[in-house]
């Protein structure tokens, strides 16, 4: 046992040459851990594509809109229920697919980072849902009414945000940059062409909303199946009117009017991927004729203005999944989860102003 002799802790002892050398070595060891930490955090590599840089790019393109989502900024809350018909059980053990009703809330929105943008024929409609399952499980999904997604991975998403950045005095994107983006990302050029070729419906209630990303459905025996899903409207399809109504909220107003007549409904259709179907590239549609299964009916009964505690303060993170649904190898999924979290954290801490869409009482 070392003695507790005096001197050991004296300043003189610490200033002895060996002690100084050892203290120096200890300093180097401590500094090395600190540098490793800084490197891991990305503080030494500002070019790394992080969630902060991704969300900054949205803010550069759209400006700062405190309290609003950085994408799909204009929206309204919804409530209703989902009634499973039991047919999904053979693909997934998630309880949502058993026959029976689960409460649902969510959000209709338009893609884009401008909370006051006028509704328009080219605005991409979206539907985000939260299924509150028994024993605290939750399924969240955000779906878009387009056939494929414009980009295949987070880097391409970021490059696209940079490419469409408004420039100079025109306030419009630079066509040269946009062309360079499509040259570098031909799959995005093909996807945009497919989106333009698809016909947009006249409103929210008769639009089909697609998961676009693939997921793995896992059954009770642990067998996984690649699935993409769609909410297919019961309301008959009607094309966009050729002359856009002047009302800035005509899509949302028509939705509120539609719900006054009764619930709007969608069938949840699962599309079963076959070996070889791309699960890691949302710019590519799966071949036509894939088997689809109707697993239940979504009924949306009411809208609520965005307000404290409702859909406004929820992050529809597509990786909030019940057991029985798992992520695929699609790189967009982790990126969405990460970027939505950053957007959520920023907006939740900011002061709030009223949203563009105000749902009338009972509407």
Partner 1 sequence: MAQRFTLVARLLHWTMAAAILAMLFIGVAMVASLTDYHRLVSIHEPLGLLILVLVALRLVYRLFHPAPPLPRGMPGVLRFAAKASHVLLYALMFALPLVGWGMLSAAGYPIAPTSWLHLPAILPQNDKLYAVLRPTHTVLAFVLFATFLAHFGAALTHALVFRDGVFQTMASWRR
Binding partner of residue 138 among partner 1, ligand HEM, none, CB under 5 to 8 Å per kind?
partner 1
Q: Candidates 180, 196, 348, 353: give the one binding partner 1 (CB under 8 A).
A: 348
How do strand 325-327 and strand 292-304 relate by DSSP bridges?
unpaired
CA distance 26 to 23: 5
Q: Of the listed pieces 24-32, 230-238, 278-286, 353-361, which binds partner 1 according to CB under 8 A?
A: 24-32
Q: Candidates 62, 144, 188, 328: give the one binding ligand HEM (CB under 6 A).
A: 144
Range 106-125, binding ligand HEM (CB under 6 A):
107, 109
For the chain, where are the alpha helices, taking DSSP H only? Answer: 11-14, 17-40, 51-62, 154-163, 175-184, 186-197, 250-260, 331-348
Phi, psi at residue 332, to the nearest 5°?
-70, -25
Cβ 16 to ligand HEM, closest distance in Å? 37
Residue 287 DSSP class: P
CA distance 215 to 61: 30
Cα 29 to chain centroid distance, Å, stands at 42
CA distance 321 to 140: 6
- Contact between 69 and ligand HEM per CB under 6 A: yes
Q: Is 90 helix (H, G, I), strand (E, B) or coil?
A: helix
Cα 123 to chain centroid distance, Å, stands at 17
Residue nearest to ligand HEM (CB): 142
Nearer to partner 1, 221 or 288 (CB): 221
- Contact between 340 and ligand HEM per CB under 6 A: yes
Nearer to ligand HEM, 75 or 89 (CB): 75
Size of the site for partner 1 (CB under 8 A): 57
- Contact between 317 and partner 1 per CB under 8 A: yes
Cα 279 to chain centroid distance, Å, stands at 17
Helix 175-184, helix 186-197: angle, nearest 10: 110
As beta bridge partners, residue 216 has: 226, 326
CA distance 89 to 294: 11
As beta bridge partners, residue 231 has: 209, 268
Q: Candidates 91, 146, 214, 335: give the one binding partner 1 (CB under 8 A).
A: 335
Cα 231 to chain centroid distance, Å, stands at 16
Site string for ligand HEM, 155-184 (x = CB under 6 A): --x---------------------------
Q: Candidates 129, 343, 355, 357: give the one binding ligand HEM (CB under 6 A).
A: 343
Asked if residue 110 lies in contact with residue 117, where contact means CB atoms within 8 angstroms, the answer is: yes
Site string for partner 1, 46-85 (x = CB under 8 A): --xxxxx-x-------------------------------
Binding partner of residue 137 among partner 1, ligand HEM, none, CB under 5 to 8 Å per kind?
partner 1
Nearer to ligand HEM, 147 or 166 (CB): 147
List contacts with partner 1 (CB under 8 A): 1-2, 4-6, 8-9, 14, 19, 22-23, 25-27, 29-30, 33-34, 36-37, 40-42, 48-52, 54, 135-138, 154, 308-309, 313-315, 317, 319-320, 323, 327, 331, 333-335, 337-339, 341-342, 344-345, 348-349
């Amino acid at each position: 046992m070392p003695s507790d002799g005096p001197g050991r802790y004296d300043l003189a002892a610490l200033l002895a040459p060996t002690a100084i050398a050892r203290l120096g070595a200890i300093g180097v060891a401590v500094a090395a851990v600190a540098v490793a930490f800084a490197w891991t955090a990305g503080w030494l590599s500002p070019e790394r594509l992080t969630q902060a840089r991704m969300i900054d790019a949205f803010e550069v393109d759209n400006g700062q809109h405190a309290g609003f989502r950085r994408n799909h900024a204009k929206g309204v809350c919804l409530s209703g229920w989902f009634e499973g018909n039991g047919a999904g059980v053979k693909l997934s053990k998630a309880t949502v697919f058993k026959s029976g009703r689960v409460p649902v809330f969510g959000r209709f929105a338009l893609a884009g980072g401008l909370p006051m943008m006028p509704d328009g024929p080219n605005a991409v409609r979206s539907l985000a849902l939260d299924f509150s399952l028994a024993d605290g499980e939750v399924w969240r999904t955000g779906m878009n009414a387009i056939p494929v997604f414009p980009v295949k991975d987070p880097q391409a998403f970021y490059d696209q945000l940079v490419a469409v950045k408004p420039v100079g005095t025109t306030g419009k994107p630079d066509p040269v940059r946009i062309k360079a983006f499509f040259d570098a990302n031909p799959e995005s050029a093909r996807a945009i062409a497919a989106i333009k070729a698809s016909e947009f419906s006249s409103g929210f209630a008769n639009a089909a909303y697609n998961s676009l990303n693939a997921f793995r459905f896992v059954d009770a025996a642990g067998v996984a199946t690649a699935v993409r899903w769609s909410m297919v409207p019961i309301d008959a399809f009607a094309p966009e009117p050729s002359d856009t109504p002047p009302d800035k909220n005509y899509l949302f107003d028509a939705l509120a009017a539609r719900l006054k007549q009764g619930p709007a409904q969608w069938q949840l259709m699962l599309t079963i991927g076959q070996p070889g179907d791309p699960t890691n590239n949302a710019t590519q549609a799966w071949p036509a004729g894939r088997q689809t299964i109707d697993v239940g009916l979504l009924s949306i009964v009411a809208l609520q203005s965005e307000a404290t505690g409702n859909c406004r303060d929820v992050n529809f993170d597509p990786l909030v999944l019940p057991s029985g649904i798992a992520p695929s190898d699609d790189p967009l999924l982790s990126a969405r989860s990460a970027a939505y979290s950053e957007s959520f954290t920023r907006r939740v801490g900011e002061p709030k102003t009223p949203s563009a869409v105000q749902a009338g009482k009972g509407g």
